[in-house]
Structure 1
């Protein structure tokens, strides 16, 4: 049974989530504020944290920072904020994914299951070979094949793909990608990402205009889907 820590100041939503998740086999711990959440995380060691950003005592970013000080537990941000900047800040601070209120329960459950799978995979180290449809990415040998045929990538294309593949299923923000691929002095040159992701799609996707694997989250970042 997977353990989830639900952090939200809305009593009705906490109760509804606890009932729905428990009915689907989850072990649920609920917290109404940031301080309680940090204490609960330390005592229960959840497999995933579902965190609202608008808490009465601590900012959600402070809770993320508090968790990231000692654990790599997957964190899914639950937010009603309309500004994508808040969500991007949370992802840059260490959150793994986000769900916007109002949400469908089946979508939330899928995100929770995916986060737990990624967390479990991370404990055993990143896989050397990742397969996604016709693609085979060998991270150890730094090679890519499509339908068994080798795909030639430039060093920058490879680095960008490597970052996305090693975090498959997770949204990686534009800032995070720029700093990892081009260096810490970069963070706003989003045109670089548009150009290189377009090049990767032309080389890797069956239909570059309708990508299945290199997904854009407008205004936020990119996600590699298996």
Structure 2
């Protein structure tokens, strides 16, 4: 199979030359353009999620032999969640290689977090099926890189940590106030302010209210701990 220029360029960015290029094409094909003969990435996504999970579980065990299950679980979740997969996808510009239907392209599909995260898992599965577990493992460890070493900070839930900080000082739980919403309906940008009863506050923006709350809590926690 002859790859398009965009797909070939992505293969170079990915750092894996496919023996079976059809696997990569399927991993990059969204259901909006898939067909019974062409297929899309959904089945590969299912497999890639499991391959990623196994690689990360093993990497965490090796990185910290003394960690308990309770310590490992939030680290694992931070490494395999859709937000992390999407961040990795952006770093290798996976969105530029996606094969999308017109409706998805018109609504910013190449930038959608959920779509990028799903496709990243599908690409992992494509590498696994093309060259085996060792190749997929090497790819994941290379792409995730320093995230594995810094995961302790990433795994910390900022909203929980801020609430614990407030409780320790006999303050009521923080409030999260929706300050604004900008951008088009298909790609909104939410602004949320985290507030403490002591009067301290911090704002943050993100593509979802949940992420904006977490970022605001993180910013406020950094301010009060400083």
Structure 2 length-normalised TM: 0.29
Question: Computing the radius of gyration over CA atoms, which structure comes out larger, 1 or 2?
Answer: 2
Pick 1 or 2: higher relative contact order, CA cutoff 8 A, min separation 6: 2
Q: Which structure has the highest strand share of the two?
A: 1
Structure 1 length-normalised TM: 0.29
